Structure 1
Amino acid sequence: MDATSDCEIPERVLLWAAAAVDPNARIHSVRRLHGGVSSLVHNITFQVGGAEKEVVLRQFTNREWLQDEPDLAHHEAESLRLASRAAICTPQIIAYDESGSTCGIPAVLMTRIEGKVILEPMTDMEHWIDGLAAALVRIHHVDADGFAWSYFTYNDVNSLGLQSWSSIPEKWTVHSKL
């Protein structure tokens, strides 16, 4: 591989991703994206013709989660397809390896969206909340009939209580009583 890389991804995975992007794609760089708790997430930049194309590779590494939900990659791919009908900026599915038969572990390859995560804006909170609400309206207008999965929470909402990770744990106590 004649690319720059700050992480190791098996060559078979990179070849799979390149073939899915374009038969003439060449790997330019690989960069780990931080923040994924249950997955390894990487930004891969390809040279395709004279242009660069950036994609995101998500590899599902949490074996316990995969035991509970062996169709995780398929579920993610179909969720992205459904989300693309919501008229919001969302990654597009490029390819997925449901069982890990090609990549070694289940994986999803998707387009990369430019931007950054803003969990709490420093200015103009009202504009930020309005933007979230507008996106939710578009999402809820999508007809999900026929979607094979139903929402469920990973946490028991009745036992949330005090959240030690929060900078405002007392707010969780109030909300857990609602």
Structure 2
Amino acid sequence: MTSHDATAPLRPQTLAWVSRHLEAGERVVRTEPLHGGVTADVRRLTIAARDGGTRDLVLRSYVDPFYLRDAESALNREAAALTLLPGTGVPAPALVAADPTAAHCAYPSLLMTRLEGRTVLDDAGIPTRLPLLARHLVAVHALRPTERPPEYVALSTPDTAVIPQHADRAVWSAAADAIRTPRPPYQGRFLHRDFQPGNILFDSATALTPSARITGVIDWAGASWGPSDLDVAHCSTVLALLHGPTWGLRFPDAYESAGGTLAPTRAQRRYWQVRDALAASEEVGIISRVWREAGRSELTERAVGERLHAYVVALMGAVG
């Protein structure tokens, strides 16, 4: 998590850069931190016009030294994705401007439109939201950009997994061995790389009802080219930690029911599922903190760790 004070005023050079990309007579009148992000400082900017009307933009800036090293690549990926998405049917913000190298801003930054809606982390309504998530992920994977984004990168390794306290170490050892095997062959797709409930906006009025509607897919900084299984596995892991292992296990079936294509064998699918689950083990503390700050006070680090262990056990118990 960044230690930057997101409530501090915009740096003068950043404000000047934003102002250059506004309509004539518009000005920034308010900034508000948007919570839930991990790698970047995200702010809602209220823009006032001469006629008294207002609109909102969103500013993403990389300020933490740990994440600055990847800021240029991440912002270039997001800018390219937001340029691709208009007219595709995938609801996403529109790009206003990007400064990936901080040539004009205090920090590497991207300015985009703000979408209506809110993220929904509640357990209530998840049976309705699951197929919606699946259908939108299928739509993402159906995109065929003229220029492919960079190949996906998996930073975690079998040896970097953090075994939860009181977990069955034999199961985790077997899981680590499962991803030491050669990577399964795959047909490349356009990937979001962080498609999960925290990056999905729902219509606020219907979010917990059978008529729930997705209004936006956000945070495209990881846009990549790779196997659809990787995105599906990531969303499955987050669903397992947020709502319980059963929901993580159900998501691949929902994805296929929505028309998506996964690896042909259970063993190949499990490779990607286990890889993402072990990667999540390195961030259980961060993940649980973000969710508690969003109102899920029961999701302590221990509780999330226990769910992760149960999910890994379930994956390893699947018939190979």
The alpha carbon displacement at 1:107 in A equals 0.2
Q: Does the C-alpha gap of structure 1 residues 59 and 68 become closer, same or farther in structure 2, counting only changes over 3 Å?
A: closer
- Please, which runs of 5 or more residues in structure 1 have no aligned partner? none
Change (3 A) 1:150 1:31: same
Deviation at 1:175, TM superposition (A): 5.1
Q: Which residue of 2 aligns with 1:17?
A: 18
Corresponding residue to 1:56 among 52, 55, 58? 58
- Report if the CA contact (8 A) 1:161-1:173 is conserved: no
Offset at 1:120? 4.2
Check the 8 A contact 2:71/2:100 in 1, yes or no: no
Distance (Å, rounded) in 2 between the aligned partners of 1:11 and 1:69: 20
Greater fraction of residues in helix: 2
Summarize the Cα distance change of 1:145–1:176 in structure 2 as closer, same or farther, 3 Å threshold.
Answer: farther
The structure whose Rg is larger is 2
Instruction: Count residues with an aligned counterpart.
Output: 173
User: Do the aligned residues in 1 keep the contact of 2:43 with 2:60 (CA within 8 Å)?
Assistant: yes
Query: 1 CA distance for matches of 2:27 and 2:70?
Result: 36
Q: Give matches, 1:10-159, under 5 Å.
A: 10-50=11-51, 51-68=53-70, 70-123=72-125, 125-156=126-157, 159=161
Q: For residues 118 and 56 of structure 1, what CA distance do their matches in structure 2 show?
A: 19
Confirm or deny that 1:170 pairs with 2:309.
yes
CA RMSD of aligned residues (A): 2.5
Q: Structure 1 residues 144 and 152 mapped into 2: Cα distance closer, same or farther (>3 Å)?
A: farther
Quickly say closer, same or farther: Cα 1:19–1:169, change in 2 above 3 A: same
2:291 matched residue in structure 1 = none
- Return structure 1 stretches of 4+ with deviation > 6 angstroms: none
State the structure with bigger RCO (CA 8 A, min sep 6), 1 or 2. Answer: 2
- Give secondary structure in 2 for the equivalent of 1:150: coil
SS at match of 1:88: coil
In structure 1, what is the Cα distance between the partners aligned to 2:140 and 2:108? 26
Cα distance in structure 2, aligned partners of 1:85 and 1:60: 28
Given the two structures, how large is their TM-score scaled by the length of structure 1? 0.82
CA distance, structure 2, for counterparts of residue 28 and residue 114 of structure 1: 19
* C-alpha contact 2:102 2:109 (8 A) present in aligned 1: yes
Compared CA separation, residues 94 and 175, structure 1 to 2 (3 A): farther
Give, in angstroms, the shift of residue 54 of structure 1: 0.1
Where 1:115 maps in the other structure, the secondary structure is coil
Aligned counterparts of 1:161 and 1:122: Cα–Cα separation in 2: 30
Gaps of 5+ in 2: 1-5, 165-280, 285-300
1:85–1:142 contact (8 Å) kept in structure 2: no
What do the CA deviations read for 1:56-88 (whole angstroms, capped 9, x no partner)?
000012333332564332222112223335312
Does the residue aligned with 2:60 lie in a helix, a strand or coil?
strand
Residue 176 of structure 1 deviates from its aligned partner by 5.9
- Name the SS for the 1:75 alignment partner: helix
Give the secondary-structure state (helix, strand or coil) at the position aligned to 2:69: helix
* TM-score between both structures, scaled by the size of structure 2: 0.48
CA 1:96/1:129 → structure 2, altered by over 3 Å: closer, same or farther?
same
Note the C-alpha offset of 1:34.
1.4
Q: Which structure: greater strand fraction? A: 1
- Contact 1:13–1:103 at 8 Å: present in 2 too? yes
